[in-house]
Chain A
């Protein structure tokens, strides 16, 4: 059976039992969570569970795998109900088989505790007085009467133990409501607003934190990456224990803990040509926080099409740029400013570029501020501009920008180019040895300093540093079959695209770069 699954039909523990039987197991421990008839002093008649299934299943599977590894049990599984449940119905089932009972009990306890804390499931209670409400996890009792809001929260209390309601503290917006320009009306505008944040990295983290803290009603997060240890210095929303987990899942947990008034939607994917319009159309405003031109222009074109305001930012070493887009006739989009959409890797934005954490943090905080200004209407009379910030000299500059008449906002995007061959741009290899055996000549385009720590025997003899190619010191051969290699596959893809455009047919990029290879 699947390690973690949802069921819209009543749970059948007898049937799941067979799924975890094993000749090596000497016993079995199980936990059943039931719907009880009261919560926070109100009589509950029935309730509904809803889950973001794709995200929730992944997180559930991770928890079960953790339990198996941690306690060394034989098999484990968990099934959670979704849909409408009556009092006494089974809400969740956990089963663990093991050689010894101690590990079975411990693993069972671990799974139910972690599922309650980490798996995004919403619970709507229907009370006997006819009222109903999306309720919070049991820790935040005070929010239980916030009926209009749906909350991302841990699974409810199954009466397995008494829960301490230490302090029924509600999120308090008084220090922003106190501003005459905000007031209660402004706070209500924020609560009614929805904002899509594309990218949950160095820029996205402060954007998400300040928007959630401010009480934006609904926040969507788009990011397909998992947390890496090298992210933490500029993305302190995450911790060392989160390494390897999807950014969207951890961000949703932390933001929910920060302010459970906010409904968080997660999209564990990068923005693509296929999904960007669907994502953008469901939000009032978009904040672009990725680290690549491809995504920035994709989002710019999508907001121009959808007539949505957006806030863009990017950083380079000690400086950054912020640009607000509004769907007004005289307002420039990203393409108005940069008619030749730059290619990733060509203007010094390689994945390895160094940066100090406060630089994206400052630019991200500026983006969050532009969002609040727009939603609160505090930007009246503001002319379109690109704002540059230099964190070394502490200089900022507001450069007035205008709509480019050559940029067609009725049909935004690059003019449909002539696609060359249908050959894929990227190739995947498991090891460097396999890549060498492909018959393609490997060309390392990393900078010299990046090659210094390559292990002996894993060096690529042909080396044409990207900086030298861009500067024109070195020329790429005009014929031959090549596999272009860099650290993460970003720069190599852009070089490959350019060489293809120059007519070199058999040139490919190593997908994911050296980081994706098994050593």
Chain B
């Protein structure tokens, strides 16, 4: 189990009801982590619509996770 710091943006923040949380997870990749959280928070947004950043750098969904990683999930926003 890894301890991961997570931050949500925009509509994900609304659905999660929080901007950030820390989770203990067995997820090995960013994709697995998102799928786990999407089920828990009922995100309803497919992964393909989002981007993930790990430790302040955009990453592929296949990116392996390590303990202490800071993971950010970002949907595109269009308001102006």
Contacts and interface: CB of A to CB of B under 8 A. Distances in A.
Interface stretch (A27-35, A131-139, A386-394, A511-519): A386-394
Interface string A374-402: 00000000000010101011000111111
B78 interface: yes
Given A347-B10, A386-B58, A401-B58, A360 B76 contact: no
A246 interface: no
B68 interface: no
Interface in B13-66: 13-14, 19, 42, 44-45, 48-49, 51, 53, 56-58
B9 A289 contact: no
A397 B20 CA distance: 14
Interface residues of B, number: 25
A337 B77 contact: no
B14 A340 contact: no
A316 B79 contact: yes
30 contacts: A201-B80, A202-B80, A289-B80, A290-B78, A291-B80, A316-B77, A316-B79, A317-B79, A319-B77, A337-B51, A337-B58, A340-B49, A342-B76, A347-B45, A347-B77, A348-B11, A348-B14, A348-B77, A349-B79, A355-B79, A360-B79, A388-B72, A388-B74, A397-B56, A397-B72, A399-B53, A399-B56, A400-B56, A471-B42, A471-B44
A313 interface: yes
B74 to A, nearest CB: 7
B79 A347 contact: no
Contacts of A202: 79-80
B42 to A, nearest CB: 7
B58 A342 contact: no
A360 B19 CA distance: 20
A402 B78 CA distance: 21
Given A386-B74, A472-B44, A291 B79 contact: yes
Contacts, number: 103
A199 interface: yes
B21 to A, nearest CB: 14
Contact of B48 (A315, A340, A401, A472): A340
Interface residues of A, number: 45
Interface of A: 199, 201-204, 289-293, 296, 313-317, 319-321, 337-338, 340, 342, 344, 346-349, 353, 355, 360, 386, 388, 390, 392-393, 397-402, 470-472
Nearest to B20: A393
* Chain B binding surface, main DSSP class: mixed
Contacts of A319: 9-10, 13, 77
A16 to B, nearest CB: 44
Nearest to B42: A471
A347 B56 contact: no
Q: Which of A316, A344, A393 has the most CB of B within 10 A?
A: A316
A399 B57 contact: yes
B79 to A, nearest CB: 4
A55 B78 CA distance: 28
A291 B78 contact: yes
Contact of B77 (A320, A397, A471): A320
A344 B58 contact: no
Chain A to chain B: the 8 pairs with minimum beta-carbon distance, closest first:
A291-B80, A471-B44, A348-B11, A316-B77, A349-B78, A316-B10, A400-B57, A399-B53
Contacts of A293: 76, 78
Contacts of A346: 49
Contacts of A342: 49, 75-76, 78
